[in-house]
Amino acid sequence: MAIKVIAQRRELKIGNKPGKRFIMRPELYSPIQEKKVFAEAATHSGISAGVIKAAWDAAGEVIRTWATEGHSVPLPGLGTMRFGVRSKAVENLEDVKTGLISVRRIIFTPNVDVKDELKNTSIQITCLDEDGKVLKRVTSGDSGDIEDPDQPSNGGNTGGNTGGNTGGGGNHNEPIGD
C-alpha cells in the first residue's frame, strides 16, 4: 500500500521566483461508499452491517453533541476531534466581538497507531510535464515525519485558535526544489 502523489510541472507567474516548477498534489482517489465501509467492518467483526451502522450513527450523534459543547472527543481507533476557530487578535476588551472569527474549524488529532501507519506507508510520486506525460516515478525515502496539530514545532499557527495550537500552517502545494 502506498500514498500516490502527482508532481506536475507548471508555469508560476507570481512570487519572487517565477518560472517552471514541479508542484505536488495528492492523486485523487474515488470516495468509498458508506455501505461498503459497514460491510467490510461486518466481515472483520462478525457483527451484522446493520448493527454496525446503527452503532456508528449513534456514536456520530454523541460525537457531534459533545464536540459542539466544547469537548475534545475520542474517535476510538483513530484519534480525537474537536471544534475550534481561527480569529484575529485584538488588544482591547471592547474590540472583542464575533466578527473577529474568520473561520470555524474541525481539528483532528490522530492517535499513535494512525500516525505510525502513515509514517510507515511509502509515498509514490509520479512526475508529469505540463501536458500530463509521465517523466519519472519515485518512491519515498523520506523520514516519514508526521505533522501534529497539537505541537507548535510543525509550522502551526498559534494565534487566534481556541484550545491551543491547532496547526494548519504552511502551503502544502509548495514547488519541489526551491
Q: Is the pTM of this model over 0.85?
A: no
Whether 160 is in a domain gets the answer: no
Q: Quick check: is 58 in a domain?
A: yes
What is the pLDDT, as a whole number, of residue 172? 36
Q: Across residues 154-158, what is the average pLDDT?
A: 42
Number of domains in the chain: 1
Asked if the structure places residue 171 within a domain, the reply is no
| Predicted pLDDT of residue 155 | 44
Average pLDDT for 105-129: 93
Residue 142: which pLDDT band, with cuts at 50, 70 and 90?
confident
d(C-alpha 167, C-alpha 105), whole Å = 11
Q: Residue 65: its pLDDT value, please? A: 95
Tell me if 85 is assigned to some domain: yes
What single string gives the DSSP state of each residue in the chain? -EEEEEEEEEEE-SSSS-EEEEEEEEPPPPPPPHHHHHHHHHHHHSS-HHHHHHHHHHHHHHHHHHHHTT--EEETTTEEEEEEEEE---SSGGG--GGGEEEEEEEEEE-HHHHHHHHTSEEEEEEE-TT--EEEEEE--S------TT-GGGS---TTBTTS-----S-TTPBS--
Question: Model confidence at 5, in pLDDT bands (50, 70, 90)?
Answer: very high
CATH number of the domain that residue 44 is part of: 4.10.520.10
61 is a domain residue: yes
Question: Over the stretch 81-115, which tens digit does the pLDDT of each residue have?
Answer: 999 999 999 999 999 999 999 999 999 999 999 99
155-168 mean pLDDT: 38
Range of the domain at 121: 2-154
